[in-house]
Amino acid sequence: MIGYIRWVDSLSKALGHSFGWCIVMLTMGTCFEVFMRYVLNNPTSWSYDMSYTFYGALFMMSGAYALSKNAHVRGDFLYRKWQPRTQAKVELFLYFVFFLPGILALVITGFFYALQSTSILEVSVNSPAGVPIWPLKIILVVAGLSMLIAGTAEMCRCILCIKSGEWLDRDEDVKELEEILLETYSKEQGAAK
């Protein structure tokens, strides 16, 4: 089970990092559009479509990465006070009741949505450029599948925590600034004593 969790975490990390490049493409496209619009007074017809396509891809494909890093939003004013076993039991229950039905609906509905869009090679109606948006609709299915796989790894993580009473550690890819500041402060306080 641990091997599966590690494999899924590495897959989620690879997907998150690769789609993170959408930020660079968004930045370059937006800078180009600002230059064309305000300096040359010649706005592009494709900029709007490009921005929502890349942002949509980035947003959807980062879900599995966020899940694998435990970076998703949670109202944890009660959760953080519970013992790890209690946390895991509640999480496992919530995965079955809310996560799985929602993700399965996304994958199944998204599949038919993407199939229809791909069959007609759908383009955007928001601009005269006719930017293809069928690839973004395929990403709906890929994002749903990656979230489903990441969710199964999280469910396995919950089962391990229920058995052992401890959460399986996660690899440290990035850290929240808050954590870094707290660690730095703790080290400074320890050195001052």
Segments in the chain below pLDDT 70: 192-193
Residue-level pLDDT at 129: 78
What integer pLDDT is reported at residue 193 of this predicted model?
66
Question: What is the value of pTM for the model shown?
Answer: 0.81
What is the structure's pLDDT at 120?
A: 93
Three-class DSSP category at 169:
coil
